[in-house]
Structure 1
């Protein structure tokens, strides 16, 4: 067996060449980590937004889009008197009638961007218990509160959208009076305003949905039975968690695009590194012949080359993980209904390390095979 010190010494014998291999491998590992982080973070954000104990009543046929749903305003009152098991807060049912509208918001004379706007009543905070106002106060007519990440969804700097500033929606100037958070959910990028204001601005006489918080997930069966018996209301009942799971499936093409982009770009880096390895090992054919002449088998030499490849892969993984933690961790990606925050967690880091090792093994096989195939006399005569 060739000593490990020989393998390590080879890495530093040509530092520029090793540096090129590590940089190329780091790019491949980083792109894979980025694709994994995008997939994981988007799925986690959508799954955290929905609660097992919240039930959404939507207009029939609008199960995949709250914005297109239409529900008569009297549904909230009917549900309150017809269903048992609804969570009670201060002797009132936790039922939130809401309007969801994806529209353009003007933040300054030359900046306009799309945002999800939610019309709510105070019961919304009983139903969406992850939401809490961290600055300011509850909005009155002509006022809004914004999620703490709404400025990123709108493409603004944080200081450009704060309490006391105004936004324009459908020609109406609305004052920001509060900021709320809902850690790990898409709601952190939304704009909330009084329900009646949003219905007036959008000229709606119907709700988008009615969300109710229940004491236990078993109450969903009662809600399903209710919508099936009240056909006149034209409703469907969905668990909030199921609705956002469907949204996750809807956004799967975005996640696939992340993978496809990562594969296409990393392929170029991989084949570039492969060419470098071919050149590096071709220059060492006589060295391999000498090792065979003094008694080392081809298997021992091949194992030593695998050690070199794995060492380069591990170094590349460490570089990629460090870069990810320093520059990618916490970066937010906007999409149509909100934003999600990238998290370089243990799973992503472990996958990065595994990819680096696999890359080192796969990358060394073709050039090693070509370099070790010649017979001993041929290798010793090689220039």
Structure 2
């Protein structure tokens, strides 16, 4: 026969201070799990939504995955469009975006700032970068820039410093912010965009970093790759944009593996913390446990009741952490080497966090409960 369900619930209420401390400890551990899993899911989401299946990137073969280190000739877009017929062309406008992309020191009006990602673009860029939407202000004119919604996070500056009308300073020039854009969580959201010609003048460069081309239905990136292989003098490589960001997923795989390892370490630390708290809780109830055995309750029933208390506390801690994570952590922007992205507390993060919490409740309660039940009843009844 099992102990009544209400018995375990009342026991938690009898020791409010100890129950509250245990709840806070469990909630803290689960919150750390939510932070790390949210980081992993946010990074994966940012990279997965950045690519476009119909876009091909052409850049220097010597730069490998680092496009900001790429340098190609300014005539490359014209060569590509003249040699390849698979690019989308509407109303006489070819959907090709020549871009100059690099990391540079950016300062805000209050003198703060850091390493920012700046992209020189043309009016045709939104036709190729179809996820980019101007949400406020106007497209940049001469001496102007538009900023992504996470650009302030990338620079470590407050959002007010990136408001329309404010000024940024980079490459020895001052630039007025004319607008803000979003890209559905893509990597572009941490960038600053300006006119290509202005950026080339400011950097004293006439070359490009890459050319992005929107392919028409039925066209294959293999044709662009063949052109790049045939023109060995240009030293170009072509890759589908989704494949490029998939390679970045592999590039950041060690980071993700390390993050999952941190989840395991945090969970293990939580188990030991739970053991410590539960040992203290059970140590003060030795006479109570012996009395229950003297009244005829089997050890299995008492064990189930003690585990029930641990699981109830863990479930409450998981729910508390989950509510805080969804309301405060979800969507919080964080800086990273590739730019910035938002923490993502999705269904996967919720399942992992709550599962870890419930596991802590079981594993934290089981060893001390088994140890208490192994003692002789007569000896335990005399315990102080």
Specify the TM-score bucket, using the shorter chain as the normaliser. over 0.9
Show the 5 A alignment for 1:64-83.
64-83=65-84
Question: Does 2:121 correspond to 1:124?
Answer: no
Matching residue of 2:375: 374
Question: Does 2:190 correspond to 1:192?
Answer: no
Which deviates more from structure 2 when the two are superposed, residues 279-288 or residues 146-155?
146-155
Matching residue of 2:322: 321
Shift of residue 299 of structure 1? 1.3
Aligned equivalents of 1:216, 1:368: Cα separation in 2 = 66
Matching residue of 2:108: 107
Question: Does 2:98 correspond to 1:93?
Answer: no
* Count of matched residue pairs: 383
Aligned equivalents of 2:174, 2:283: Cα separation in 1 = 70
Matching residue of 2:287: 286
Shift of residue 129 of structure 1? 0.5
Matching residue of 1:135: 136
Matching residue of 1:239: 240
Secondary structure in 2 matching 1:146 = strand
Aligned equivalents of 2:84, 2:309: Cα separation in 1 = 67
Secondary structure in 1 matching 2:358 = helix
Shift of residue 267 of structure 1? 5.3
The verdict on how the C-alpha distance between 1:217 and 1:315 changes in structure 2, with shifts beyond 3 A counting, is farther
Matching residue of 2:12: 11
Aligned equivalents of 1:217, 1:202: Cα separation in 2 = 38
Q: CA RMSD in A?
A: 2.0
Shift of residue 109 of structure 1? 5.4
Show the 5 A alignment for 1:160-199.
160-199=161-200
Q: Deviations over 1:38-76 (max 9, x none)?
A: 000011011111111111111113221001111112211
Aligned equivalents of 1:259, 1:108: Cα separation in 2 = 39
Aligned equivalents of 2:326, 2:218: Cα separation in 1 = 38
Which structure 1 segments of 5+ residues have no match? none
8 Å CA contact 2:12–2:309 kept in 1: the answer is yes
Aligned equivalents of 2:333, 2:253: Cα separation in 1 = 18
8 Å CA contact 2:311–2:358 kept in 1: the answer is yes
Matching residue of 2:58: 57
Alignment TM-score, normalising by the size of structure 1: 0.94
Aligned equivalents of 1:99, 1:377: Cα separation in 2 = 82
Show the 5 A alignment for 1:23-42.
23-42=24-43
Q: Deviations over 1:312-356 (max 9, x none)?
A: 110010110111123212211022332111122222122221111
8 Å CA contact 2:152–2:159 kept in 1: the answer is yes
Shift of residue 371 of structure 1? 0.6
Question: Does 2:217 correspond to 1:219?
Answer: no
8 Å CA contact 2:28–2:321 kept in 1: the answer is yes
Alignment TM-score, normalising by the size of structure 2: 0.93
Question: Does 2:281 correspond to 1:277?
Answer: no
